[in-house]
Amino acid sequence: MSGIAKLRFEASPGRHVTVLLLRPAGAQWLYVFAHGAGAGMQHRFMEAASALLAGHGIATLRYQFPYMEAGSRRPDSRATLLATVRAAVHAASEAAPDLPLLAGGKSMGGRMTSQAAAEAPLAGVRGLVFFGFPLHPAGRPSIERADHLGNVRLPMLFLQGERDKLAEPDLLRPVCAGLGERATLHLVPEADHSFHVPKRSGRSDDEVLAELAATVARWSARLA
């Protein structure tokens, strides 16, 4: 496996952010991987998922949103977040022009990617992968955040924990069903929004992460 390359790109006028590119030998895909609202691209989940995906021949380009790059805890405006997604996809195309792209991310990062794709095509992206799509705020179940998904014309993989308080399965299942063949839903028993599982499950968090990476690999192979 090759090392991690640290790059930068302009997310919005005058605002540059950092990128971590991990490209294994023989890579077949490059996943443009956005972080969640409260933790940046070097969070343990992001690092572990990237390493496991690399083992399946999927390179990753992890990137920061401008607010995280600046050390703020307050997310940027929607316009800035969506512009950053588009800039990251462009940066991925330039960093690895020979690889087809997947895009998405953890929680908020995945939702911002889907919103960007709903507004206009993301050049070179063949599918979206969501690690814990945040369908609704905790304790406030609804499906309004899914309204835009009908405008996404790409295959979508939803990786979700059955105990995810930001996406109740009874709400998410019909959302995915309504998207038809474009949506694939993979539910992890007893996992929460962070894909943590309790000891009673008989599994470790690392085993769950390995399952998620293998699921992405199988799903992406069908897109080739």
Rounded CA-CA distance 59/215 in Å is 15
pLDDT at 217: 98
Could you tell me the two tokens for 87? 């800039």
Taking only the tens place, the pLDDT of each residue in 25-54 is 999 999 999 999 999 999 999 999 999 999
88 pLDDT more than 70: yes
Q: Identify the band that residue 1 occupies on the pLDDT scale cut at 50, 70 and 90.
A: very low
Q: What is the mean pLDDT of residues 105-122?
A: 98
For residue 154, which of 116, 107, 209 has the smallest C-alpha distance?
A: 116
Contacts of 174 (CB under 8 A, 6+ apart): none
Q: What is the mean pLDDT of residues 16-28?
A: 96
Count of structural domains, the chain: 1
Residues 159 and 188: beta-carbon distance below 8 Å: yes
Residues 50 and 62: beta-carbon distance below 8 Å: yes
pLDDT at 2: 62
Mean pLDDT lowest among 11-20, 27-36, 80-89: 11-20
Specify the CATH number for the domain of residue 172: 3.40.50.1820
Q: What is the mean pLDDT of residues 100-123?
A: 98
Beta strands in the chain (DSSP E): 4-12, 15-22, 29-34, 58-63, 101-106, 125-131, 156-161, 183-188
Residues 85 and 61: beta-carbon distance below 8 Å: no
4-12 β-sheet, strand order: 4-12, 15-22, 58-63, 29-34, 101-106, 125-131, 156-161, 183-188
Taking only the tens place, the pLDDT of each residue in 131-150 is 999 999 999 999 999 999 99
pTM given for the model = 0.96
Q: What mean pLDDT, rounded, does the chain reach?
A: 96
Beta strands in 24-168 (DSSP E): 29-34, 58-63, 101-106, 125-131, 156-161
pLDDT at 12: 83
Residues 43 and 59: beta-carbon distance below 8 Å: no
Where in the sequence is the domain holding 89, given as residue range(s)?
4-221
